[in-house]
Amino acid sequence: MTERRTLYPSIEPFRNGMLEVGDGHRLYWELCGNPHGKPVVFLHGGPGGGASSNHRRQFDPERYRILVFDQRGCGRSEPFASLEANTTQHLVADIERLRIEVMGCERWQVFGGSWGSTLALAYAQAHPERVTELVLRGIFLFDQFEIDWLYREGGASAVYPDGWEEFVALIPDAERGNLVEVYHRRLTSDDPAAQLAAAKAWSRWEGVTVTLLPSPETLEDFTEAHKAIAVARIENHYMRHGGWLEEGQLLRGVERIRHIPAVIVQGRHDTCTPPRAAWALHRAWPEAELEIVPDGGHLYSEPGVLDGLIRATDRFAG
């Protein structure tokens, strides 16, 4: 078996800053790697997850000029955890502004995992002439099945009944018919203690579903107060509105991007974004290469998933 690829060595940004994108929002961005390298934009998950220093390490720093940024309301962007003017369409427009005003390129590679895959597809379908390649992980199409899988009993709850029990424990039995809506009320509460308790419960449930094996470190990261508030508020906001996408929209939109070279890396045992969505995307778009990692879960850091992603970025680096 060929040795699996892993992250490139740590690097620091050679430029960073804040971009005003309107509606009171300012986005934190950073450029890493080779200032004259192939342009690529990294789209993080969540929504609301923010970017980390390891995300830039999925690209060869000698060959890529890497743009990493925090989407509206999360990470180092401002205002923190804001739901105002925070929709998929706003984020697609933000990516275009970053391409023009920060990267200054005509075309670039687009890389996105989990919610980042949703956003990458939405951006590419809106601006197919700007995309050289797509690298996608943990496909989430924002269809109702996927929302119900995570937030109604009988989906991921059947795999993690113990984690599900903790997730719903905060909610009285009589209010459990629509957990997305009832959590929204708590996450937008004027009571900071109630808001934080709901945020930690929401984010912890996601943390349970994203790893192949139990990971106390992941749960600790997901329930850290600052991260939990942004992830839970923004993610819940998007779930309530179906990601501002019509059912099946991203599959129908494949016709606009069929010509773009693409690699999809999907963990077989991903219980956050189940393989059903990646398979549906591949069937609609057979030209896109699909790699289902037999021992992979959801996170990009799973060894087999990371190997597939870095092999894809290495292949497209030229």
DSSP 102: I
Taken in order 13, 19, 23, 25, the sign of the CA dihedral is positive
Q: What are the C-alpha distances in Å from 26 to residues 19, 70, 82?
A: 5, 10, 11
* Long-range contacts of residues 98-102, Cβ cutoff 8 Å, at least 24 apart: 98/19, 98/27, 98/29, 98/41, 98/67, 98/69, 99/41, 99/130, 101/19, 102/17, 102/19, 102/29, 102/31, 102/67
Query: d(Cα 173, Cα 182) in Å, to the nearest integer?
Result: 11
Residues identified as active-site:
114, 270, 298
Q: Any residues with CB less than 8 A from the CB of 195 and at least 6 apart, and which?
A: 186, 187, 188, 189, 229
Q: Which phi and psi angles does 138 have, rounded to 5°?
A: 55, 65
Q: Tokens 């779930």 label which residue?
A: 239
